[in-house]
């Protein structure tokens, strides 16, 4: 089978906080420096060699490799899912493939016309109408005006925004942006289509429509690469999945095994926002979680739940010292980083043991009314007044499924009482 994408020893380095080292400057920075006059310029020119070496050393210390030595091939007609935690390098990979950013090391070879849908509104001009943006995007993708005109009706029909096609896109909702952007990207009949998580903005019916269209592209021997936190979509759509961790390929193979590795690689790490408070190593916290089990109401392990079911969680804690009035908090985070609900032992009037040692705590949720999505459980231990944080860790993930209730309905759905007034 012919290769569509060939990636060899790909790496992308960013420099964090390295002033004047990276070589990239914005127009604003250039104008500001000029306005500050020659005094600052002279001061820069007078910097000693020692100072320059010091700056270079600091720059090296702040290197960050978003991707490092990534190599794999994708065949024509394959549908490949790219999964991994936030910061694993997924979006950076797609930006390099789309030629939005250049790699630091390595090589990418593409065979065929590429179309990409990387984020809401990419390539759209907010002041232009939907109609004008279709022609603009088509031209960017290398289409002639006649080709765009020939496909225009199909694009508008697919996006289902006929009545708004002559409205400036700055007035579009994020959902309308996605519908039009996907319609343009997909209906240009690309040989390679890259999709980065944006489908989570659309409603459930449109997501299904896009998945089906992606399958039709694959059936026409096009290559589709999807970055998603929605494991349902990866499992349902993809022939193969690649799990990235810390900018490197952790696993490349069957979607089910890739999803399992994705779940395992993120468990019990300290949450990035909490590292400044509690450190990066959970085992050095005064109290921390050593494990989290997700069970159904009867106590059987399960990670996929139907809307309205209850979840039993079993949390394994280890206290390295006596903790007065520890307050265990479990937070359900949606895949788009929305905090959906919290459960607290202090709020619910349950007293945890305060002595050191190992403890196992169980919590049974009420019937979950969360919309269909992927959720991650964050495990935190505060004091009773929520003033001191002892640990904050990433737990396991679970899915809620429902045929209708998606993120278009918000965070949850509870039935209301209706009557004619």
Q: What is the model's pLDDT at position 362? A: 97
Domains in the chain: boundaries: 64-264, 267-408
Distances in whole angstroms, Cα of residue 332 to Cα of each of 69, 338, 365, 368: 34, 9, 11, 11
Distance between CA 366 and CA 362 in Å, rounded?
Answer: 13
Q: What is the model's pLDDT at position 418? A: 95
Q: What is the model's pLDDT at position 199? A: 59
Q: What is the model's pLDDT at position 123? A: 65
Q: What is the model's pLDDT at position 26? A: 41
Distance between CA 380 and CA 383 in Å, rounded?
Answer: 10
Return the closest-CA partner of residue 231 out of 24, 45, 83, 67: 83
pTM: 0.63
What is the dihedral angle through the alpha carbons of 131, 137, 142, 148, rounded to the nearest 10 degrees? Answer: -20
Superfamily of domain 267-408: abc- transporter (atp binding component) like domain (2.70.50.60)
Q: What is the model's pLDDT at position 46? A: 45
Cβ pair 370, 340 in contact under 8 A: yes
Q: What is the model's pLDDT at position 120? A: 55
**Average pLDDT per consecutive 10 residues, the chain (421 residues; last block may be shorter):** 92 71 42 45 45 45 84 95 84 90 94 78 79 86 84 89 90 82 79 76 69 84 86 82 91 90 77 88 94 94 94 96 95 87 96 94 96 92 95 91 86 93 90
- Burial of residue 340 (number of CB atoms within 10 Å: 0-12, 13-18, 19+): middle
Q: What is the model's pLDDT at position 202? A: 56
Q: What is the CATH number of domain 64-264?
A: 3.40.50.300
Q: What is the model's pLDDT at position 59? A: 42
DSSP E strands, 353-417: 357-364, 373-383, 389-401
């Amino acid at each position: 089978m012919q290769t569509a994408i060939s990636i060899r020893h790909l790496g992308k380095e960013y420099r964090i906080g390295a002033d004047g080292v990276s070589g990239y400057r914005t127009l604003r920075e250039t104008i500001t420096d000029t306005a500050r006059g020659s005094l600052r310029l002279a001061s820069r020119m007078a910097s000693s060699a020692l100072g320059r070496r010091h700056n270079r050393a600091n720059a090296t210390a702040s290197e960050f490799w978003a991707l490092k030595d990534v190599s794999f091939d994708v065949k024509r007609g394959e549908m490949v899912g790219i999964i991994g935690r936030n910061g694993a390098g997924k979006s950076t990979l797609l930006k390099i493939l789309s030629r939005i950013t250049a790699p630091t090391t390595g090589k990418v070879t593409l065979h065929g016309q590429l179309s990409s849908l990387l984020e809401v509104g990419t390539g759209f001009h907010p002041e232009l109408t939907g109609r004008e943006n279709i022609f603009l995007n088509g031209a960017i993708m290398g289409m002639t005006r006649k080709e765009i005109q020939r496909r225009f009706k199909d694009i508008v029909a697919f996006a289902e925004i006929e009545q708004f096609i002559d409205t400036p896109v700055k007035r579009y909702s994020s959902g309308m942006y996605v519908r039009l952007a996907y319609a343009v990207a997909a209906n240009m009949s690309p040989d390679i289509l890259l999709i980065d998580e944006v489908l989570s903005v659309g409603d459930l019916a449109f997501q299904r429509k896009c998945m089906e269209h992606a399958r039709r592209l694959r059936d026409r021997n096009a290559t589709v690469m999807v970055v998603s936190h929605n494991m349902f979509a990866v499992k349902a759509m993809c022939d193969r999945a690649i799990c990235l961790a810390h900018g490197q390929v952790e696993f490349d193979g069957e979607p089910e095994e890739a999803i399992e590795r994705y779940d395992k690689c993120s468990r019990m790490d300290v949450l990035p926002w909490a590292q400044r408070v509690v450190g990066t190593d959970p085992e050095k916290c005064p109290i921390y979680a050593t494990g989290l089990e997700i069970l159904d109401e009867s106590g059987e392990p399960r990670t996929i739940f139907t809307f309205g079911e209850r979840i039993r969680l079993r949390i394994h804690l280890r206290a390295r010292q006596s903790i007065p009035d520890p307050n265990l908090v479990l937070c359900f985070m949606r895949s788009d980083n929305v905090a959906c609900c919290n459960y607290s032992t202090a709020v619910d009037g349950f007293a945890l043991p305060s002595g050191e040692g190992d403890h196992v705590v169980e919590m049974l949720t009420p019937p979950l009314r969360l919309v269909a999505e992927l959720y991650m459980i964050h495990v935190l231990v505060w004091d009773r007044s929520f003033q001191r944080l002892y640990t904050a860790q990433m737990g396991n993930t679970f899915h809620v499924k429902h045929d209708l209730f998606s993120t278009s309905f918000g965070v949850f759905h509870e039935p209301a009482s209706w009557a004619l007034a």
